[in-house]
Structure 1
Amino acid sequence: MKNVITNTFLILVLTCSYMIRAQIPTSEKQYLLEFNKSTVGDQWQNKWDVKADPSTWYGVEIEDGHVTALKLYRNNLTGAIPEGISVLSHLQTLNLAFNVIEGNLPEDMFQLEKLTTMRLEMNKLKGNLPQDCSKMTQLEELSMFNNLLQGTIPSGIGELSNLKTLNLSSNYLEGSLPKSIEKLGKLERLELFGNKLAGTIEVDLGRLVNLKELILSYNQFEGDLPNGMATLSNLEFVQLQGNDFRSLNSLLRMQSSKLAVFDSDDEFLNMKFGSTDASRTRIVDTKYEDVKRN
């Protein structure tokens, strides 16, 4: 009898503990409901029962009474992301990739101080990127390729001190490459394929010592490539073709032994560093991670 009472007590304690952790502030729940409505939740592939507890909603993760993740990768979201997302102040992962979301990015999206992953690729988002990045110092992955974004890359992008992946390929971004990018010492992937970026690259690429992938192809860059790039020993993928570079001679001294793909408009360098195996060439990011990474 004593064991039965003890076990029952433990079950009650665990149940109560779970319920306390699962409960979220009214403001967070209200935003999720607005998000569901704004992105036409009735047509989602995995729908929410909005009358049920938010802890049961697909793609919503809750820890210590707050929403920490919103993972709705490839879930047939349409419409727009509503303003006010900063109310999810404990959000660490936002993955809305491979949907059909339209409209501008919420003005307060870059105020999510605990966010480590923001994946919005393969949507129809438009407008400009927020210029103030100073609060998102925990962000490690910013992926927005294949959207309709315009304007410039934020001059303060270098404030994202923990950033490892920056992928803004296949948009309509213009202007120069912000010099502050050279402050991103942890950056491993810089992918800006297929925009309208232009001018001479003033960034000291040699400071990006962890860089593995540099994809700048099909923009309007000009002038000489910075000398520092030749010192990057971890490079695996380099694509520079489709620009107006005056000279790539600084790369003649490049010693990276890890290069798998090298593409440029300089045939000598292509033969020196590149591969003739077309299957190994990647012009745009085709590593479309499946739902396991959401």
Structure 2
Amino acid sequence: MKNVLTYACMILMLTSSFMVNAQLPSKEKQYLLDFNKSTHGEQWQNKWNLQEDPSTWYGVEIKDGHVTALKLYRNNLKGSIPDGISILSELKTLNLAFNTIDGELPEDIFLLATLTSLKLEMNKLKGSLPQDYSKMTNLEELSMFNNLLQGEIPNGIGDISNLKTLNLSSNYLEGSLPKSIEKLHKLERLELFGNKLAGAIEVDLGRLVNLKELILSYNQFQGDLPSSMATLSNLEFVQLQGNDFRSLNSLLRLQSSKLAVFDSDDEFLNMKFGANEANRTRLVDTKYEDTKRN
């Protein structure tokens, strides 16, 4: 009887697995095939055997008959991301970081309502960011540093209500910091290093109560730093150098006791917060290491 039950369980598991894979909608599979072709799949480091089931393809995760993750980090992807990605309606993770993908972002990539992590850093993406992010209420991580993105940071980015990480460093973004960013109450990391952002910061930074990292260095910001920044008690990494701030005096009242790195053009503040060569071990450009492959 025990052997019969064991055999029955094995059959059930195999059948369930087959059903999950068999139920992958043809439109989702076709998009994966289009994606493979558009990004030169024959040159990938880890190639797909297109004759096998999509569940066996490197970096593809399928659950309940739908693609839920596409993780092709550092896999020698070239070419562009084809339009139509929103057909992957259950996609939660899209990680195409550290490749050489070029072209513009597909218009429908920001219609993926289930997406929690979007990592496109260290590619050659160009064009501007979309205006509408109202569908992306589940997104927690948006990382597109070190690309060729231009234009302004859209005001609509403040609609990503669950966002914890926003990293747009090392692009060619310009204009002012959109005031809507102050709506991102769950934000922990705001990294905008090395763009062409300018003007006074009108954002009420004090509303970003969970902020741990604020990296605005090497832009063209001017005026006084918002006084509300002094109330941010969770700050650990602050980099403000390479701007044209008129005054950073509000930071004299900074309430955070967790600072590990503080860099600015104000030597008095650097000394006050202990910024020196010994603890400047995490400059923004050293954070682009491939330590996370989610």
2:198 counterpart SS class: strand
Alpha-carbon distance in 1 for matches of 2:95, 2:288: 13
Check if 1:129 corresponds to 2:142: no
| 1:67-101 deviation digits (Å, cap 9, x = unpaired) | 00000000000000000000001000000000010
CA distance in 2, matches of 1:202, 1:292: 33
* CA deviation vs aligned residue, 1:235-271 (integer Å, no higher than 9, x gap): 0110001111111111111121111111111111111
- Structure 2 residue runs of 5 or longer lacking an equivalent are none
How many pairs were matched up? 293
Please show how residues 1-40 of structure 1 align to structure 2 within 5 Å. 2-23=1-22, 24-40=24-40
**How do 1:128-277 residues align onto structure 2 when only pairs under 5 Å count?**
128-277=128-277
- Give the AA of the match of 1:280: R
Deviation track 1:38-68 (CA, whole Å, cap 9, x = no partner) reads: 0000000000001110000000000000000
For the aligned residue pairs, the C-alpha RMSD in angstroms reads: 1.3
Cα distance change on mapping 1:167 and 1:249 into 2, 3 Å:
same
The CA deviation at 1:9 is 2.5
CA distance in 1, matches of 2:224, 2:276: 25
Task: Report the CA distance between 1:181 and its aligned residue.
Answer: 0.4
Find the aligned partners of 1:7 and 1:249 in 2 and give their Cα distance.
Answer: 71
What TM-score, normalized by structure 1, do the two folds share? 0.96
Q: 1:143 to 1:15 in 2, by over 3 A?
A: same
Q: Aligned partners of 2:226 and 2:5: how far apart in 1?
A: 70
SS in 2 for 1:268: helix
* Pairing 1:37-186 to 2, within 5 Å after superposition: 37-186=37-186
Any idea what SS the aligned residue of 1:69 has? strand
Contact 1:73/1:291, CA 8 A, preserved across alignment: no
Name whichever of 275-284 and 246-255 sits farther off: 275-284
Structure 1 segments (4+ residues) deviating >2 Å: 2-10, 277-283, 285-294
How much does 1:120 deviate?
Answer: 0.4
Are the structure 2 counterparts of residues 117 and 285 from structure 1 closer, same or farther at C-alpha, using a change threshold of 3 Å? farther
Using the size of structure 2 for normalisation, the TM-score is 0.96
8 Å CA contact retained: 2:115, 2:139: yes
Check 1:98–1:124 CA distance in 2 against 1; reply closer, same or farther (3 A cut).
same
Residues of 2 paired with 1:36 and 1:242: CA distance? 41
Between the aligned partners of 1:49 and 1:291, the Cα distance in structure 2 is 28
**CA 292–194 in structure 1, closer or farther in 2 if over 3 Å, else same:** closer
Query: Between the two proteins, what is the percent identity of the paired residues?
Result: 77
- Displacement of 1:290 in angstroms is 3.6
Residue 89 of structure 1 aligns with an amino acid whose one-letter code is S
Per-residue displacement from partner, 1:11-60 (whole Å, max 9, x unpaired)?
22111111112231000000000000000000000000011100000000
